Amino acid sequence: MSKASCAGLPKSVDPYKLAEQNSTLEGEIPLSALSRFREAVLEVGEAAVCSVKLSFYMDGERRRIVSGELEAPATLECQRCMGHMQTTLTSRFTLGLVTSDEQAQRLPKDLEPFLTDDFSADLWSMVEDELLLVLPPFPLHERAECPADEDLEALEPKGAPEQGDAPAKENPFSVLADLKKTKH
Ligand SMILES: [Zn+2]
């Protein structure tokens, strides 16, 4: 394994110590190293990185908190045209550090748990989880940029029927009604 550059986010840290020291970490993670993320997207650029900023601190209740933001480029598959779609994923999150499920359950609702060992946390894996959370489940190009704009209606949930757009199909019953009329 090559030594991380100075801009690299450390993979393993003692998050409790960092929280007590009110530390902020800023750095990058090569996306090629995040295998679950790599498999979830169409492709990641060879040199693509996720930029991360993490603040460790203690809140008023002396809970250890890590709040962060991240940004990463990704190529997704547009579900309308099945073509490549470049996007930038961003996320902001606030996590409560816990070492057991029991602790996790005691966290207030607005804090997601970040389960770690007593003295070490895998930051890369945590960032990968956050990235996977913000992947759009149904990525679509902007309308103007999508080559398959024509097919849009087929994919969108059926709303109110469109009126006056397409020529009305002949209704067999109205034809019958006309026939009846002409008989009289
Ligand atoms: Zn598209």
pLDDT tens for 107-154 read 999 999 999 998 999 999 999 999 999 999 999 999 888 998 565 555
Question: Mean per-residue pLDDT for 19-23?
Answer: 97
Ligand 1 center to 163 CA (angstroms): 26
Ligand 1 center to 78 CA (angstroms): 5
Q: Which residue has the higher pLDDT, 134 or 3?
A: 134
Q: Residue 29 pLDDT > 90, yes or no?
A: yes
For the chain, the residue count is 184
Asked if residue 41 is part of any domain, the answer here is yes
d(CA 32, CA 29): 9
Q: How many Cα atoms occupy the beta-carbon half-sphere of 110 within 13 Å?
A: 5
Q: Which residue has the higher pLDDT, 166 or 148?
A: 148
Ligand 1 center to 85 CA (angstroms): 7
According to the model, what pLDDT value does residue 156 have?
A: 55
The boundaries of the domain holding residue 108 are 1-137
Asked if residue 131 is part of any domain, the answer here is yes
Ligand 1 center to 146 CA (angstroms): 4
What is the percent of the chain with per-residue pLDDT over 70, rounded to a whole number?
77
> How many domains, the chain?
1
Question: Mean per-residue pLDDT for 67-92?
Answer: 96
Asked if residue 17 is part of any domain, the answer here is yes
d(CA 107, CA 5): 35
Question: Mean per-residue pLDDT for 41-60?
Answer: 95
Ligand 1 center to 80 CA (angstroms): 5
d(CA 24, CA 163): 58
Asked if residue 146 is part of any domain, the answer here is no
Spatial CA neighbour of 9 closest among 139, 39, 18, 143: 18
Asked if residue 116 is part of any domain, the answer here is yes
